Amino acid sequence: MVDVALQGGAVGTDQQVDRAKVLQRLRMSDALFRGMTRLAAIAVLIILSGIIASLVYGSWPALRTFGVSFLFDESWNPVTEKFGAIAPIYGTIMTSLIAMLIAVPVGLFIAMFLTELCPMWLRRPIGIAIELLAGIPSIIYGIWGLFVFAPFLQQYVQPFLIEAFGDIPVLSTLFAGPPYGIGVLTAGLILAIMVLPFITSISRDVFQAVPPVLKEAAYGLGCTTWEVWRYVVLPYTRVGVIGGVMLGLGRALGETMAVTFVIGNAHRISGSILAPGTTISATIANEFTEAVGDLYTSSLIALGLILFVITFIVLAIARLMLMRLNAKVGG
Amino acid sequence: MALYATRRARNKVAVFCAGAATLFGLTWLVLILAVLLWEGFSGLSLSVFTEMTPPPGSAGGLLNPIMGSLVMTSIAVVIGTPLGILAGTYMAEYGRYDRLTMIVRFINDILLSAPSIVIGLFVYEVMVAQMGHFSGWAGAVALAVIVVPVVVRTTEDMLILVPDTLREAAASIGLPRSLMIKKVAYRAARAGMITGVLLAVARISGETAPLLFTALNNQFWSSDMNAPMASLPVVIFQFALSPYKDWQALAWTGALIITLAVLALSIIARSLTAQRKSS
């Protein structure tokens, strides 16, 4: 095989010497290849540390100027160079919260339908359709939200919400008018549509990992489909489901384009979710290229750092949970 | 008997909810695709592929952003793929159970879903701020950073699926490890690895956020990688938010082109792995 590995290299008269040479060369290239792959693996770590280092470096001027109060200040004024992050942070959390409130139950129900109820011949097509929905670039959701979804909400849904909740104490502030069309609620709904396929496909995979014997035993006792799912499947896969939900949350928090189109880019915290707001990613996308002055740019990078830290924590928890489930299924 | 009736009723409600939820999810897919096809095809013509982006109020096409996207995507794949494949190779072949692999796998999974706008900021700091101007190179590098984790993940997963007996057979006839990997393991996992690259291309061809402040945009034809470069997603972003009807129509057409490309890529990728499984 060494001769084959030589691939037509010179096989001279003195076979012994050549053989030693070839072996030496192979040993070298072997070590070289191993070194290269190891280096590439380390490069992944370097990319991550590079991201963190460059964000910290870039946001240093802003963090030094504003200190911890950057996190809690609502003002965002490029003219007086006074910046605070609380409005975008609030918008990010609020839109993601709305998205998760809708996407989690719907996604879990779809996964239940796909694994327990759906006829066999329909499972694959629906599964593929859900995964295609996950593959559509976020800018498509954004442009659709801006031209189709926001006008629809403005004309039909939001007036109804304002009318319906107008007399109920807490909800009347939450749904206070006027109906802008674009705003926190619209962004949250678009995010929900975007995150739905992620949550669905992960929970479907997780539900499929439940040993059939467990389910059959429960069915054998006379449990209904709902009871099997609620008391056997869900407890067994709880960790994985939470992991999948956190993964979807990570997506929602960091999503830029789908939100930027429909959020309205207003730097204020409003009690009403119908009002325009902003998120961290939308602020950066809208203002970064137009930012003049080091402090302005630096404040935007500081926003990026905050976003990265939040998503890092959420994603790390998600991965740890999914790893725990895998260990359980494997062991 | 009352208990039995409640249980059955509860089950009926749950089953109804599950069906309704599925219909709800699929409705959005249909709605989005229907509007996209309708608006996109009404603006689709040959001039879209042969003319440059127009100034507001006149006709034009999307030639320069299409080319810009193709060029930057190709360069990103050329940079990102080898790095990803090598890293995945280390994780599956050399250090499958060592500490470095565990850490890299964890970090890679986080990079896989890290917000892409943060990657744009990173490349802005590292390249644009240092060079002093926006450039096509910076855009390509930002996309490459997104390609790497996708390729790492699929390469590792696919190589782990290669049966160890193949490796042992290669080793038993004296094949050095690096050649065993290149000639045996890679070949066995080839379809899956190509799928990974295709998925990465699908992922970056729709990415907008990392290009906004790396490649910026360019109204004109430019083949200079050192200058700002137009790309389809960024042009869609700019045109859709503009008040001009022509630009908005072009944005829809561009959105249709991207979606069709992404869907085609994911369908090809899917059929590649499907073939592998059935054979």
Written as one string, the DSSP assignment of chain B is -HHHHHHHHHHHHHHHHHHHHHHHHHHHHHHHHHHHHHHHHHH--HHHHHSPPPPTTS----HHHHHHHHHHHHHHHHHHHHHHHHHHHIIIII-TTSHHHHHHHHHHHHHHTS-HHHHHHHHIIIIIHHHSS--HHHHHHHHHHHHHHHHHHHHHHHHHHS-HHHHHHHHHTT--HHHHIIIIIHHHTHHHHHHHHHHHHHHHHT--HHHHTTT---SS----TTS----HHHHHHHHHTSS-HHHHHHHHHHHHHHHHHHHHHHHHHHHHHHHHHH-
Q: Residue B142 is which amino acid?
A: A
Tokens of A31: 């070590």
| Binding-face residues of A in 81-100 toward B, CB within 8 A | none
Distance from CA of A74 to the nearest CA of B (A): 22
- The angle that helices A184-208 and A120-135 make with each other, rounded to 10 degrees, is 140
Predicted confidence at residue A15, as pLDDT, reads 65
Q: Cβ distance B63 to B253 under 8 Å? A: no
Residue B202, pLDDT > 60, answer yes
Q: Which residues of B touch A27 (CB under 8 A)?
A: 176
Q: Taking CB atoms and an 8 Å limit, are A41 and B87 in contact across chains?
A: yes
| Average pLDDT rounded to a whole number, residues B186-197 | 91
Distance from CA of A212 to the nearest CA of B (A): 20
Q: Taking CB atoms and an 8 Å limit, are A284 and B117 in contact across chains?
A: yes
Tell me which long-range contacts A60-65 makes (C-beta under 8 A, separation of at least 24).
A60/A298, A61/A294, A61/A295, A61/A298, A62/A295, A62/A298, A62/A299, A62/A301, A62/A302, A63/A302, A65/A295
Predicted confidence at residue A9, as pLDDT, reads 47
Q: Taking CB atoms and an 8 Å limit, are A47 and B111 in contact across chains?
A: yes
Identify the CA nearest to A303 among candidates A256, A257, A251, A249.
A256
Tokens of A327: 């260990």
The answer, for B268 touching chain A at a CB cutoff of 8 Å, is no
- What is the chain B residue with the closest CA to A24? B176
The answer, for A64 touching chain B at a CB cutoff of 8 Å, is no
The predicted model scores a pTM of 0.90
Distance from CA of B210 to the nearest CA of A (A): 9
Q: Which residues of B touch A30 (CB under 8 A)?
A: 176-179
The answer, for A143 touching chain B at a CB cutoff of 8 Å, is yes
Across the A:B interface, residue pairs with CB atoms under 8 Å apart total 273
Residue B26, pLDDT > 80, answer yes
Q: Is the dihedral of CA B119, B122, B124, B128 positive or negative?
A: negative
Identify the CA nearest to A130 among candidates A186, A188, A185, A205.
A205
What is the Cα gyration radius of chain B?
Answer: 23
The answer, for A130 touching chain B at a CB cutoff of 8 Å, is yes
The answer, for B208 touching chain A at a CB cutoff of 8 Å, is yes
Q: Taking CB atoms and an 8 Å limit, are A109 and B22 in contact across chains?
A: yes
Query: CB-side exposure of A167: number of CA atoms within 13 Å?
Result: 1
Whose tokens are 């030094």? That residue is A64
* Mean pLDDT computed over every residue of chain A: 87
| Size (chain B), residues | 279
Q: Which residues of B touch A37 (CB under 8 A)?
A: 86-87, 89-90, 93-94
Predicted confidence at residue A11, as pLDDT, reads 47
From first to last of the 331 residues of chain A, give the pLDDT tens digit.
Answer: 444 444 544 444 566 678 888 888 888 999 999 999 999 999 999 999 999 999 999 999 999 989 888 888 888 888 888 898 999 999 999 999 999 999 999 999 999 999 988 888 888 888 888 888 888 899 999 999 999 999 999 888 888 888 888 778 778 878 877 888 888 999 999 999 999 998 998 899 899 889 999 999 999 999 999 999 999 999 988 888 988 899 899 999 999 998 999 998 888 888 788 889 999 999 999 998 888 888 999 999 999 999 999 999 999 998 888 888 777 665 4
Euclidean distance between CA atoms A24 and B129, whole angstroms: 46
Tell me which long-range contacts B106-111 makes (C-beta under 8 A, separation of at least 24).
B106/A316, B106/A319, B107/A44, B107/A45, B107/A48, B108/A44, B108/B149, B108/B152, B108/B153, B109/A315, B109/A319, B109/B149, B109/B153, B110/A48, B110/A312, B110/A315, B110/A316, B110/A319, B111/A44, B111/A47, B111/A48, B111/B148, B111/B149
Q: Which residues of A touch B122 (CB under 8 A)?
A: 50-51, 54-55
Identify the CA nearest to B210 among candidates A264, A261, A49, A285.
A285
Q: Cβ distance A258 to A145 under 8 Å? A: yes
| Binding-face residues of A in 226-255 toward B, CB within 8 A | 226-227, 229-230, 247, 250-251, 253-255
Predicted confidence at residue A267, as pLDDT, reads 86
| Size (chain A), residues | 331
Predicted confidence at residue A13, as pLDDT, reads 55
Q: Cβ distance A195 to A288 under 8 Å? A: no
Q: Is the dihedral of CA A129, A135, A138, A144 positive or negative?
A: negative
Q: Cβ distance A209 to A331 under 8 Å? A: no
Predicted confidence at residue A172, as pLDDT, reads 81
Q: Taking CB atoms and an 8 Å limit, are B252 and A143 in contact across chains?
A: yes
Q: Which residues of B touch A255 (CB under 8 A)?
A: 115
Of the candidates B7, B83, B117, the beta carbon closest to that of A281 is on B117
Q: Taking CB atoms and an 8 Å limit, are B90 and A40 in contact across chains?
A: yes
Q: Cβ distance A186 to A150 under 8 Å? A: yes
| Average pLDDT rounded to a whole number, residues B106-126 | 92
Tokens of A286: 């809208």
| Average pLDDT rounded to a whole number, residues B79-99 | 94
Tokens of B119: 């990657």
Of the candidates A37, A43, A139, the beta carbon closest to that of B206 is on A139
Euclidean distance between CA atoms A87 and A266, whole angstroms: 9
Report the complex ipTM: 0.90
Predicted confidence at residue A284, as pLDDT, reads 93
- The angle that helices B232-240 and B63-89 make with each other, rounded to 10 degrees, is 130
Identify the CA nearest to B84 among candidates B140, B138, B156, B141.
B156
The answer, for B222 touching chain A at a CB cutoff of 8 Å, is no
Tokens of B3: 């208990």
Of the candidates B100, B103, B259, the beta carbon closest to that of A136 is on B259
Distance from CA of A32 to the nearest CA of B (A): 9
Q: Which residues of B touch A147 (CB under 8 A)?
A: 35, 39, 240, 248, 252
Instruction: Tell me the CA distances in angstroms from A301 to A65, A156, A266, B134, one per residue in order.
Output: 14, 38, 18, 17
Residue B227, pLDDT > 70, answer yes
Give the end-to-end CA distance of chain A in Å, rounded to a whole number: 39
Q: Cβ distance B154 to B192 under 8 Å? A: yes
Distance from CA of A13 to the nearest CA of B (A): 23
Of the candidates B8, B109, B255, the beta carbon closest to that of A140 is on B255
Euclidean distance between CA atoms A165 and A175, whole angstroms: 7
Residue B278, pLDDT > 50, answer no
Q: Which residues of A touch B241 (CB under 8 A)?
A: 146, 261
| Average pLDDT rounded to a whole number, residues B49-62 | 84
The answer, for B115 touching chain A at a CB cutoff of 8 Å, is yes
Predicted confidence at residue A23, as pLDDT, reads 87
A-interface mutation test, from B37, B90, B116, B150, most A Cβ less than 10 A away: B90
B-interface mutation test, from A257, A288, A306, A313, most B Cβ less than 10 A away: A257
